[in-house]
Structures are given as C-alpha cells and as structure tokens.
Amino acid sequence: MTTPMEFDAVFSLGHNCQVAAQLRRNNLRRMAGPWDWFNFASTREFCKVIHQQFSEFMLRENLDIYGKSVNCYYVRDKRSSCLSFHDFRNDPKEQPLYDYPAFRERLDRRIERFNRCLNSDRKTLLVRIIPHKKDAETIEQVIRETYANPNVTLLFVLIGDHEQIVNLPSFSDRVLIKQIPKGATWEGNSDAWKTLLGGFSLTTGE
C-alpha cells in the first residue's frame, strides 16, 4: 500500500463547493478557507484575487444581488465575478445583505488564515477543480509569485467522462493533475474523490 502524502494544512481553492465538501467528507478539511463555498469559475479573475491577496475581494460596494432562494440571496462580486449562494440570508424582516458585517468578519478570518499559511513553511496542499489543463500552470505561477511558502503542493482536478481516475502529465513535481469521473449531484463522484484523496493525510498537530 502506498503511504499517503502528509500535509500540515489542506485548503480548497474552489471553483465551486464540491472541493470543500469532498475534503470535509474525507477528513482533510481541518480548517475553513476563503474559497470553500463560493462559485468562482474564472481562472483569470481568480488569479487576480490571489495576486492582490484578496485586497478588493467581496467588498460591500461591489456586491450585486441577482437572485434568491427561499433561504438565501444569490450575490455576485461585480469586480471579480465570484458568486455566493449561501452567505446572505433571505429574511423578509431584514434588508438585503443585512448580515454582511458577519460575513465580512468570517471571510477576513479565513483570508488571514490562508495568507498566513501560504507565507509560512508549513507543508500545504491546495486543491482546485479546473476546466482546462492549461489553467494549472497559470494558477501555479501566480501562487508561487504571490506567496513565500516553498512547501506548497497543488492538486488540480478535471471532471471528465472516463470511468476511472486518470493521471495527467504535469510540469512540476509539486503539481498533480488528475481527471475524475463526474457525479450525479453538486458534490461530484464521491467514490472517485475518496480514491483520489486517499493519497493524502493530515499531520496530527494543528
């Protein structure tokens, strides 16, 4: 049996909620990160936010409500194109986005945690779903240019039609690129994720 790669910290880099949900399901989400529950598909805009270290991310004046469910407003960050489906409650007794201060405090705490880790020497795994293999190199480059941590490994996941997990060629020994079969729900293919994430573990400390 192959020994799992061990990390001090694991963060979702998102694309959508699937990554954070599967990290949690597979006991790799010890701490919340800033990307966990957003839908942020644009690689270019995602890289801008990383490069700016979140300096203008999800500011109140840039938020636009474009829909709602029974429970929550659907909110877009007009500057970055990032979407939120879960953060702002739809309460008929309150003004829309009344809970922004609590959201901001929570997000800033997660940003500070992420930035601190990425500027330390902790062994860190970052996981993101990407639509195209070429996005891996773009994101890896901006992470390396922005943060000082030399011990970051990136796992990029493409969702495909193959029934098995496919190992795709990488350009770096600190970048893993995998293709997994798609699932029937927003959580993805849980069996494939379990197999994929079984190759990683967290250290016993914080």
**String of DSSP letters for 125-163:** EEEEE-SSTHHHHHHHHHHHHH---S-EEEEEEEEES-S
Given this model, what pLDDT does residue 206 score? 55
Q: Is the pLDDT of residue 147 over 90?
A: yes
Are 83 and 38 in contact, with CB atoms under 8 Å apart? yes
Are 149 and 124 in contact, with CB atoms under 8 Å apart? yes
Question: What distance in Å separates the CA atoms of residue 109 and residue 103, rounded to the nearest whole number?
Answer: 10
Q: What tokens does 6 get?
A: 């061990």
- How do strand 166-168 and strand 175-181 relate by DSSP bridges? antiparallel
More confident residue, 100 or 186: 100
pLDDT band at 62 (very low <50, low <70, confident <90, very high): very high
Percent of the chain with pLDDT over 70: 98
Question: What distance in Å separates the CA atoms of residue 176 and residue 13, rounded to the nearest whole number?
Answer: 14
Half-sphere exposure (Cβ direction) of 121: Cα atoms closer than 13 Å: 0
| Tokens 């998102």 -> residue | 14
Q: Is the pLDDT of residue 37 over 70?
A: yes
Given this model, what pLDDT does residue 8 score? 97
pLDDT band at 128 (very low <50, low <70, confident <90, very high): very high
Choose among 47, 46, 83: nearest CA to 63: 83
Return the sign of the alpha-carbon dihedral for residues 178, 181, 183, 186.
positive
Given this model, what pLDDT does residue 26 score? 97
Arithmetic mean of pLDDT, 146-156: 98
Question: What distance in Å separates the CA atoms of residue 1 and residue 22, rounded to the nearest whole number?
Answer: 22
**Torsion angle of C-alpha atoms 130, 17, 68, 95, degrees rounded to 10:** -120
Chain mean pLDDT for the chain:
96
**What are the extents of the domains in the chain?**
5-202
pLDDT band at 1 (very low <50, low <70, confident <90, very high): very low
Q: Is the pLDDT of residue 14 over 90?
A: yes
Arithmetic mean of pLDDT, 154-183: 96
Question: What distance in Å separates the CA atoms of residue 6 and residue 3, rounded to the nearest whole number?
Answer: 9
Given this model, what pLDDT does residue 111 score? 98
Arithmetic mean of pLDDT, 151-170: 95
Summarize pLDDT for 72-123 with one digit per residue, the tens: 999 999 999 999 999 999 999 999 999 999 999 999 999 999 999 999 999 9
